[in-house]
Amino acid sequence: MEIDGYLDVPLWLAPMAGVIGSAFRRIVRRYPCGLVFTELLSARGLLAGSKTMEPLTRFHESERPIAFQLYGAEPQVVAEAASLVKERFSPDVVDINMGCPSKKIVRSGAGAALMGDPSRVFDMVKAVTEAVCPVPLTVKIRSGLHSRSINAKEVALAAQDGGAKAITVHPRTKTQGFKGRADWRVIGEVVEACGIPVIGSGDVVLPQDARRMMDETGCAGVMIGRGSLGRPWVFLQAYACLKGDAVPEDPSPQEIGKMALQQLFWEVEEKGERRGVVEMRKHLLWYSRGISGAKAFRREISKLSSLEDGIKLVVEFFSLEEEQVGFKRKEPIGVPY
């Protein structure tokens, strides 16, 4: 499909390494969301068949359309990895990470380091576009390396010339990391300079923020990251805002509890009991925000290590009735991967 098809619902779920996996993406899929992303995947790791990559590449068919995001420093290496990903996973979109500020990744010349080298951006995008054709290639950039070297426009144009079909701009510098406010004016500048769709990322928390970002910057779509954690229904609410409809209310604590329980099952199904439950701890913290009694619940969550205890805790905290749990313990949990 052309990239415009993924912008029919112009709300994308942001990649968030170590936070968002297949189970949460499956939950988000209940709501209007044009595209979801894997977390950033090492091109070298994929080519080496590294075992650590396997869990990161897992996804469920119901998550489609899905973008696989790669990072690397050398255009040919990223192109080769992209070609492998295309063959093995048939992603709907391939994305190149040009924004990760992690020291290790930047030192290797990948992630946000690419913001300092627009000609390499062009070479990489060109090589990867050719490798994945006809799968659309997108890139995700920052505003620049430092506050005195804001060059998102230049990098975006290099990516566009190389063949990128869309560009996501997270308008913080590498130095800022995730601190301070995202400067949406940079998104507007990239929109003005580029002919391809630009997606804005950063500080979209309330449903109204998505509408505001599109109005203020002219961007074609909005990515939602941290604002969706523990509140994936923000996609439904933001979509209503975009259409000018009344914003649906937040779900009841019981509905949130059912959602959390479903995610817990999927986490365990995907990662096994121990890892799945540990992974779910932070999501349970987010799901419990704003619900009374959350303090004691949080203390219990930090000790959680079995599915059985996880179910009990969620059922009690969110006041779920037995029939709302919707499964019997000895039955297999959902669809296998």
Ligand X SMILES: Cc1cc2nc3c(=O)[nH]c(=O)nc-3n(C[C@H](O)[C@H](O)[C@H](O)COP(=O)(O)O)c2cc1C
Find the binder of ligand X among 21, 163, 207, 227 (CB under 6 A).
227
Q: What count of other Cβ atoms lies within 10 Å of the Cβ of residue 287? A: 28
- Kindly identify the residues of this chain, within the stretch 69-98, that bind ligand X according to CB under 6 A: 69, 97
175: exposed, middle or buried (C-beta count within 10 Å: 0-12, 13-18, 19+)? middle
Find the binder of ligand X among 226, 281, 282, 298 (CB under 6 A).
226
Binding string, residues 170-199; x marks residues near ligand X by CB under 6 A: x-------x---------------------
Q: Is 133 known to be catalytic?
A: no
What ranges make up the beta strands (E) of 49-174?
66-71, 93-98, 137-144, 166-173
Q: Which run of H or of E encompasses 266?
A: helix 253-271
**Could you tell me if 301 and 313 are in contact, meaning their C-beta atoms sit under 8 angstroms apart?**
yes
- Span interacting with ligand X, options 15-23, 49-57, 127-135, 319-327, rule CB under 6 A: 15-23
- What is the nearest approach in angstroms of ligand X to the Cβ of residue 39? 4
With respect to ligand X, which residue has the nearer C-beta, 201 or 263? 201
Q: Taking CA 54 as the corner, what is the angle to CA 273 and CA 47, rounded to the nearest 5 degrees? A: 165
Q: Which residue of the set 33, 100, 219, 241 is catalytic?
A: 100
Find the binder of ligand X among 60, 140, 165, 258 (CB under 6 A).
140
16 near ligand X, rule: CB under 6 A:
yes
- What is the nearest approach in angstroms of ligand X to the Cβ of residue 191? 17
Alpha carbon distance, N-terminus to C-terminus of the chain: 25
37: left (phi over 0), alpha (psi -120 to 50) or beta: beta
Closest residue to ligand X using C-beta atoms: 225
Q: Which two tokens stand for residue 160?
A: 């566009």
With respect to ligand X, which residue has the nearer C-beta, 35 or 311? 35
What DSSP line would sit under 183-208, residue for residue? -HHHHHHHHHH-SS-EEEES---SHH
Residues that bind ligand X (CB under 6 A): 14-19, 39-40, 69, 97, 99-100, 140, 170, 178, 201-204, 224-227
Which residues are known catalytic residues?
Answer: 100
